[in-house]
């Protein structure tokens, strides 16, 4: 009884009359609530004061999938029984807590309200002393597998329970209330209690109305609610029993928190109960279930009054209030009696193992910070491919500061010895002429995940670090001086797993990695406990889902599923870095080349500050003529297709190491701008020597040549041509000529400058003008074009090589398919079989080895 009551009452679940609807629509307008006209079921208790509970029946949510587990020593199996008997180990066989009450039911055809009479099940079956779970076992019995709660079993155990009643007058007990909870775990526990007949029907600030199986309604008075916090890792509720008037404390929380607060001075039977529960907890954890423990404590009137007085003082305190509340919680949450444990299955989303494997192949070190139990977290780490079966797991489970320090130093010395062995093996291999082979073998065993960026002291593919929350307390303590050794140890591992971590510890770990290791951090979370971690990281990603939207609201990017992180980083992240790097460098070049032309003219006017370009052209050159193409390139340009980037995660190294935007990249572009400005001005000046061209006509020619040179420059830097980009380039020239015609024809004496009437028309009719712009623009961009061509041909980078390989693979696959489709064709692919064709088209494969451990192996096929 206590176990199921804790599931139903010790939570923050809200019982709604109708499904939640936002009061504000997408346009920001307040809409009226349309649920007011929905029918309701009224339950009237005529045994005492009249109480009405309205449960909306207009729309009901889908049947919830039950994921709760109970810690039973014997499996719950349906037992045949007569209509007048109650099968054992069912909700009907539980001890009674409230006195029998009689509820009358009347059905009114003119209204949609129903009141029903509920008669309690007879208690004369001799089952008053039957407990929920009898943890006694025979001397030679072995622990049995915990039973899974499911809807079918619940319906068998409670014959009066139905979810699909076809009766035109359904009873209130046959209608599912609408539960709303912040956490899906709480919702699963309430659903578990509901399936076994303990139905939460109403919750107010001071009362809880619960329907007991075969007993009717029972209203408990809520005296205090001790909310959950990450320090205690538990929550509690104090209720007053309606029959005995006892003050009972019910607690629900992590096993590490509940087990430490149990009453140890008990008999052997209770100790055995605790021992068996711990066995079930370990079994749940190894299966990857999220475990919780339930406990209770019956308070005497004196204990409750004394605690209430001190608790009110803590609540009303103006100084150090949080600390005093924690002390108040600790005074009451002790000497507990264990009543049960649960295991909730938190299934991995689709694509999680593949996504983590792709991130590791991209050279990204993945750390998992979770609040789950260590065994649960390790099992999930294997399931999501964070750990692989052949990986060496280093565990840090220290209970003192000295023990934590000794363990860290021991692992560091062990790793140093392995590195010395590897170095000696490399030296011996080099001396024997097999240096390349030995180096490759050593790298496979000791180096980093990324094949193109393996470092001598990098993280090992065969090493994973596991640390629990208690050890993190000593590591993150500044006085312990363990943070630096811990980060050094973590840096030598390919993956790290922090268990039982609080939100504050998650935030401190991210900050330590960002500040001490000098790396860029990205935090991914889906719940309120991840908000501080997301805000601390350089980039925060929130996953929208059943955990609420706190993480999404605090993040920089929001995704719907974890598998979308692969495309967000490896595709959009790669494109974003490539576009920004090239466009920023282009803007530096573009502005410098145009301004340096004016500087070159100062050599001819005695540095008077005058310009051969009209002031209007100076103002609109960067604003109108050359602004559209770089913006379009920065938005739409792609240096590689998404399929290539996803198939080869190693290409992400270009952005991870910042290869495109280096300090020398800036100076190379500035030197290119200096060269182009010199060519554009001085070659134009030489060609116009001894001509009757005026100053503004010469400036028009140089401006036109500069526009063409910058357009050719961005064309060379463009990786993928699209219709939009071509339209942008054409639009730039249309705006140049259109502005020139309108300005020179309409603005005869604008801004106090000499008239430009006819300057553009004269320049366009001059053969010297076209000869100058073609010659100077070609000479200006020729060095960049030649350098790009030589690099792509002689020493292509990873992206270019991947595109070349992908292009060749597509052509070969096309020829192979053509040769197979026609018997008359002589085009064939030598030594090509069905198997190699499949390998070329599918360079990656995923293997599922067992039901509990999922291992993703990646094989890169040679094309």
Q: Name the binding residues for Mg(2+).
A: 526, 530
How far CA 860 is from CA of 361, 641, 832, in Å, comes to 11, 18, 18
**Which residues fall in the annotated binding site for ATP?**
186, 228, 252, 290, 370-372, 500, 506, 529-530
- CA-nearest of 310, 314, 335, 332 to 324 is 314
Distance CA 596, CA 512 (A): 46
Distance CA 112, CA 110 (A): 7
Q: Which string of b and e fits 820-844 if b means at least 16 CB within 10 Å? A: eeeeeeeeebeebeeeebeebeeeb
Distance CA 688, CA 697 (A): 10
Helix %, strand %, coil % for the chain, to 5?
Answer: 50, 15, 40
DSSP string covering 307-373, please? HHHHHHHHHT-SSSHHHHHHHHHHHHS-SBEEEEEEEEE-PPPTTHHHHHHHHHHTTPPEEEE--S-
- List, in sequence order, every beta strand (DSSP E) within 160-231: 178-180, 199-203, 207-212, 216-229
Which residues contact residue 572 at a Cβ distance below 8 angstroms, ignoring those fewer than 6 apart? none
Distance CA 566, CA 552 (A): 18
- CA-nearest of 475, 476, 443, 487 to 462 is 443
- CA-nearest of 862, 650, 568, 621 to 735 is 621
509 close to 498: Cβ distance less than 8 angstroms? yes
Distance CA 486, CA 412 (A): 9
**Which residues fall in the annotated binding site?**
186, 228, 252, 290, 370-372, 500, 506, 526, 529-530
- CA-nearest of 512, 495, 505 to 471 is 505
Distance CA 509, CA 369 (A): 9
Distance CA 330, CA 328 (A): 5
How far CA 278 is from CA of 14, 74, 258, 285, 340, in Å, comes to 31, 16, 11, 10, 10
Distance CA 622, CA 629 (A): 11
Question: What's the DSSP call for residue 457?
Answer: T
């Amino acid at each position: 009884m206590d176990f199921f009551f804790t599931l139903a009452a010790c939570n923050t679940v809200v019982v709604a009359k109708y499904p939640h609807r936002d009061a504000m629509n997408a346009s920001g307008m307040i809409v009226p609530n349309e649920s007011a006209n929905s029918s309701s079921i009224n339950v009237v208790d005529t045994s005492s004061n009249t109480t009405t509970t309205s449960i909306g029946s207009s729309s009901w949510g889908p049947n919830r999938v039950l994921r709760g587990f109970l810690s039973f020593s014997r499996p719950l199996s349906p037992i045949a029984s007569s209509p007048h008997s109650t099968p054992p180990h069912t909700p009907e066989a539980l001890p009674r807590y409230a006195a029998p009450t009689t509820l009358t039911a009347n059905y009114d055809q003119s209204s949609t309200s129903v009141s029903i009479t509920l008669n309690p099940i007879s208690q004369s079956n001799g089952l008053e002393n039957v407990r929920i779970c009898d943890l006694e076992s025979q001397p030679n019995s072995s622990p049995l597998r915990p039973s899974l709660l499911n809807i079918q079993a619940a319906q068998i155990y409670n014959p009066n329970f139905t979810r699909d009643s076809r009766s035109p007058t359904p009873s209130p007990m046959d209608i599912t209330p609408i539960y709303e909870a912040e956490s899906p775990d709480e919702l699963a526990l309430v659903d578990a209690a509901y399936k076994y007949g303990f139905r939460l029907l109403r919750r107010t600030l001071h009362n809880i109305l619960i329907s007991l199986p075969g007993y009717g309604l029972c209203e408990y008075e809520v005296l205090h609610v001790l909310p959950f916090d990450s320090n205690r890792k538990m929550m509690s509720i104090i209720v007053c029993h309606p029959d005995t008037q006892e003050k009972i404390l019910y607690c629900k929380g992590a096993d590490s928190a509940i087990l430490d607060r149990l009453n140890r001075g008990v008999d052997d039977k209770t100790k055995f109960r605790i021992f068996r529960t711990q066995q079930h907890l370990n079994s749940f954890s190894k299966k990857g279930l999220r475990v919780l423990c339930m406990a209770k404590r019956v308070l005497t009137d004196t204990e409750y009054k004394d605690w209430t007085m001190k608790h009110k003082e803590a609540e009303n305190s103006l100084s150090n209030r949080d600390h005093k509340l924690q002390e108040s919680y600790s005074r009451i949450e002790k000497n507990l009696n264990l009543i049960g444990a649960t295991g909730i299955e938190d299934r991995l989303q689709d694509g999680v193992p593949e996504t983590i494997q792709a991130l590791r192949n991209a050279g990204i070190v993945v750390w998992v910070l979770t609040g789950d139990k260590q065994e649960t977290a390790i099992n999930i780490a294997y399931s999501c491919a964070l750990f692989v079966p052949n990986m060496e797991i280093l565990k840090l489970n220290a209970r003192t500061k000295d023990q934590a320090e000794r363990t860290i130093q021991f692992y560091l010395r062990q790793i140093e010895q392995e590195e010395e062995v590897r170095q000696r093996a490399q030296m011996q291999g080099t001396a024997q002429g097999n240096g390349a082979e030995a180096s490759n073998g050593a790298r496979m065993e000791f180096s980093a995940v990324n094949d193109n960026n393996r470092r001598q002291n990098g993280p090992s593919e065969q090493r994973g670090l596991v640390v629990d929350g208690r050890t993190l307390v000593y590591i993150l303590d500044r006085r312990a001086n363990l943070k630096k050794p811990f980060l050094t140890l973590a840096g030598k591992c390919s993956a790290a797993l922090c268990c039982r971590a609080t939100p504050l510890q998650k935030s401190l770990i991210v900050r330590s990695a960002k500040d001490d290791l000098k790396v860029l951090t990205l935090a991914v979370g889906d719940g309120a406990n991840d908000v501080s971690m997301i805000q601390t990281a350089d980039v925060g990603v929130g996953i929208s889902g059943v955990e609420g939207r706190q993480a999404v609201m605090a993040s920089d990017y929001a995704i719907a599923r974890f598998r979308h992180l692969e495309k967000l980083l490896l595709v959009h992240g790669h494109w974003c870095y490539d576009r920004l790097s090239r466009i920023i460098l282009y803007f530096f070049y573009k502005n410098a080349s145009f301004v340096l032309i004016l500087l070159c003219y100062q050599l001819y006017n005695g540095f008077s500050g005058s310009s051969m370009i009209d002031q209007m052209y100076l103002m609109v050159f960067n604003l109108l003529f050359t602004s559209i193409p770089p913006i379009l390139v920065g938005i739409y340009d792609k240096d590689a297709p998404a399929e290539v980037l996803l198939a080869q995660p190693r290409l992400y190294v270009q952005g991870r190491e910042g290869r495109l935007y280096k300090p020398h990249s800036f100076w190379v572009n500035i030197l290119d701008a200096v060269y182009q400005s010199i060519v554009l001005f001085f070659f134009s000046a030489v060609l116009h020597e001894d001509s009757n061209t005026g100053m503004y006509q010469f400036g028009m020619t140089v401006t036109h040549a500069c526009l063409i040179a910058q357009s050719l420059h961005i064309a060379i830097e463009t990786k993928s041509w699209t219709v939009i980009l071509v339209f942008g380039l054409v639009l730039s020239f249309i705006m140049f000529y259109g502005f020139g015609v309108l300005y020179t024809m309409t603005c005869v004496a604008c801004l106090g400058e000499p008239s430009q009437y006819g300057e553009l028309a004269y320049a366009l009719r001059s053969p010297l003008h076209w000869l100058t712009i073609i010659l100077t623009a070609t000479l200006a961009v020729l060095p960049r074009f030649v350098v790009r061509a030589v690099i792509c041909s002689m020493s292509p980078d990873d992206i270019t090589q991947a595109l070349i390989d992908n292009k060749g693979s597509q052509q070969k696959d096309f020829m192979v398919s053509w040769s197979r489709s026609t018997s008359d064709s002589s085009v064939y692919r030598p030594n090509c079989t069905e198997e190699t064709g499949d390998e070329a088209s599918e360079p990656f494969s995923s293997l599922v080895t067992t039901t509990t451990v999922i291992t993703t192996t990646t094989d890169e096929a040679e094309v």
